[in-house]
Chains A and B, each alone.
Chain A
Amino acid sequence: MFSAPFTFAALSQHFPILQVVIPLIAAPLAVFIGVTSIAFLLAFAASITSLIISYSMLMQVIDGSVISYHIGGWAPPWGIEYRVDAANAFVLLILSAISTVVLPYAKTSIEREIRASAQTLFYTCYLLCFTGLLGMVITGDAFNVFVFLEISSLSTYVLVALGAERDKRALTAAFNYLIMGTIGATFFVIGLGLLYMMTGTLNMADLANRLPALSDNRTVQTALGFIVVGMGLKLAIYPLHLWLPNAYTYAPSAVTAFLAATATKAAIYVLLRFMFSVFAPDFTAATGALNLIILPFAVIAMFAASIIAVFQADLKKTLAYSSIAQIGYMLLGISYFSHTGITATMIHLFNHAVTKAALFMAVGAIVYQTGTSFIPKLAGLGKQMPWTSAAIVAGGLSLIGIPATAGFISKWVLISGALEKGWWWMAMLIVASSLIAVIYVWQVVETLYLKEPVGDVVVKEAPLSLLIPTWILVIASIYFGLDTELTLSSARAAADALLGTAPLAAGAGS
């Protein structure tokens, strides 16, 4: 392997593994070198490399082909296989793009939120989290998903707890997240165990081959239940969402921005992969209508979370509950069980990641300058921090789903999917919940622009190092509302890949 010339072509053979290994090696390097600025550079370099790798892989697989990489040269199903098709390539792109934009932002933001001696460790945990998320998405082996899931979760708990310097509730938030996250991961493992018991394999493509024969088996059905609940805890499906508001609110701003845009997205991808590729779509639909479970919970999430968001006094909490509602939309797309439904989920994955990261970064900029994200204290900031406030307005409009923003495109596909199925009542529910978003977004807009500033402290605009990444994502959220070529075609290809219209099990586990 080392004798091959290090040309791009030669390296590109190993992109799947490099995607995960590069951030993974950067993490301990950061600790050993110990200098914060170098740790940042390592992290940033790892992110950019990941971005290049994921983009080139997406371009390769968007036509429906599949990249299959055998780790250590062991052929699956005995060896671990990394399998990249349009669905995971798209999610990998989202993960690495968000990371690349958030890191420069984090460099400045954590100056005021984390003590200097801990900043190197911040980058280490960040890189580990990033590795975990990437690995979770790219792997084609079910147990590997668990391993990377736990890598990302453990580092996430640490990242959330780092917020304790600002507000000690971060510690209990991290602890609760730890308990719930571990239970979720363990449920996932139980499900996997049951699957292994019945099929003898852990390779996802191989499982997909063997499961149809076992569709009546109760063990397999139970396994599906455990897997859905396990991942459901990670992606904050409605009744299992309790960890999210506190974790997002009390974590450092850069961490929230990163997590809100990536962690739940990766979990949704894993859920999709298991529900549709490993367990065939008909099986999942037939099992006591998973439809009957995911659909009502998605709708409840959309409404309940939005309504709770209206009554929050802390802007970060409002956005956290808003995220739960948006996850509800993604689950709604899943529950359609149609190509359009999954396209809607995938495209909302992207659009929401961009929008929410931009919003949390803007709020983080406010925290950086004023020390608080408490809405009544933000009165009059529209004049004092014009760019940051404008970013919040733009992000808010995308959350509502105003045309010419990314959020609108997701809503459009979601409503089209509902009308395709003849569910006109669902279309009305979707628009009704968007209207609740108008309320909590407009509360913030009114406070920022129409109220007089509290107190005498003159607040200045946030520094450019915070504004530029925020505005890159704000512009992205508008851009992807006007030019949907990349996102829509990737989402469609992803839906094809997941539903097996581009066969997953082509030449079973080759």
Chain B
Amino acid sequence: MSELFDVNFIIGHFQYWLGIILMMTGLFVVVSRGNLVKKVVGLNVFQTSVFMLYISMGKITGGTAPIFTGNPQEVYSNPLPHVLILTAIVVGIATTALGLALIVRIREEYETIEEDNIQHLENAMQRKEDQDAGAMI
């Protein structure tokens, strides 16, 4: 527990702190904001935190960019996380694009992109269905 107050510990792990803050921010936005576009934004922030986590783990102290220089003594940062994150970024973009497309369609159908209003409309639909069910029994 005392290590949490150790300045070296805090500064030494700042990329993780940053990652956690971004992750939580992103999740918070997804959960608390009613506007669907904001949810997608939150999702992006969340995913970005993961990107940062990966890339930061690839950095080696004293390492240079992983481009072959011909110098046999050279220390390179690990390129693999970069590659993984490129994949993840692409996935993230595709997800965002899909999410936004869905939002456009939702806007067409529901005339709103606020979660509360949509919920309200759907509840009304559900109530009507239940009424029909009750009327039949």
Contact = CB atoms under 8 A, between A and B. Distances in A.
Interface of A: 143, 146-147, 150, 154, 157-158, 161, 164, 168-169, 171-172, 174-175, 178-179, 182-183, 185-186, 189-190, 193, 196-197, 313-314, 374-377, 379, 454
B6 interface: no
B137 interface: yes
A157 B43 contact: no
B39 A179 contact: yes
What are the nearest 3 A-B pairs in CB distance? A376-B136, A168-B109, A313-B133
B113 to A, nearest CB: 10
B136 A454 contact: yes
B133 to A, nearest CB: 4
Given A171-B106, A189-B88, A374-B133, A183 B43 contact: yes
B105 A183 contact: no
A395 to B, nearest CB: 22
A179 B133 contact: no
A168 B103 contact: no
Interface string B67-100: 0000000000000110010011001001100110
A377 B53 CA distance: 53
Nearest to B109: A168
Given A179-B43, A182-B47, A376 B109 contact: no
B46 A183 contact: yes
12 contacts: A146-B91, A147-B87, A150-B94, A172-B106, A179-B30, A186-B50, A190-B53, A193-B81, A197-B57, A313-B129, A374-B132, A374-B133
Interface of B: 27, 30, 36, 39, 43, 46-47, 50, 53-54, 57, 80-81, 84, 87-88, 91, 94-95, 98-99, 102-103, 105-106, 109-110, 118, 122, 125, 129-130, 132-133, 136-137
A147 B91 contact: yes
A379 B137 CA distance: 10
B108 to A, nearest CB: 9
A189 B48 CA distance: 12
Given A172-B118, A189-B50, A182 B43 contact: yes
B127 to A, nearest CB: 12
A193 B43 contact: no
A376 B106 contact: no
A183 B27 CA distance: 8
Contacts of B46: 183, 186
Contacts of B84: 143
Contacts of B95: 150, 154, 178, 182
B102 A157 contact: yes
B53 A161 contact: no
Contacts of A147: 87, 91
A190 B51 CA distance: 9
Contact of B109 (A171, A183, A186): A171
Contacts of B133: 313, 374-376
A143 B105 CA distance: 32
Most buried by B among A143, A147, A183: A183
A182 B54 CA distance: 17
A189 B47 CA distance: 10
A157 B57 CA distance: 32
Contacts of A314: 129
Contacts of A172: 106, 110, 118, 122
Nearest to B57: A197
Contacts of A146: 88, 91
B49 to A, nearest CB: 9
B13 to A, nearest CB: 12
Nearest to A375: B133
A186 B47 contact: yes
Given A161-B105, A172-B118, A186-B46, A178 B99 contact: yes
Contact of A196 (B27, B36, B81): B81
B96 to A, nearest CB: 9
A379 B136 CA distance: 10
Contacts of A157: 98, 102
Given A157-B98, A168-B109, A175-B102, A193 B57 contact: yes
B103 to A, nearest CB: 7
Nearest to A150: B91
Contact of B94 (A154, A164, A193, A376): A154
A197 B50 CA distance: 13
Contacts of B109: 164, 168, 171
Contacts of A379: 136
Contacts of B98: 154, 157-158, 178
Contacts of A168: 109-110
A51 to B, nearest CB: 28
Contact of A175 (B106, B125, B136): B106
A183 B95 CA distance: 11
Contacts of B43: 179, 182-183
A185 B95 CA distance: 11
A174 B87 contact: no
A368 to B, nearest CB: 20
Contacts of B80: 196
A381 B125 CA distance: 25
A182 B102 CA distance: 15
A154 B118 CA distance: 23
Nearest to A158: B98
B99 A171 contact: no
Contacts of A150: 91, 94-95
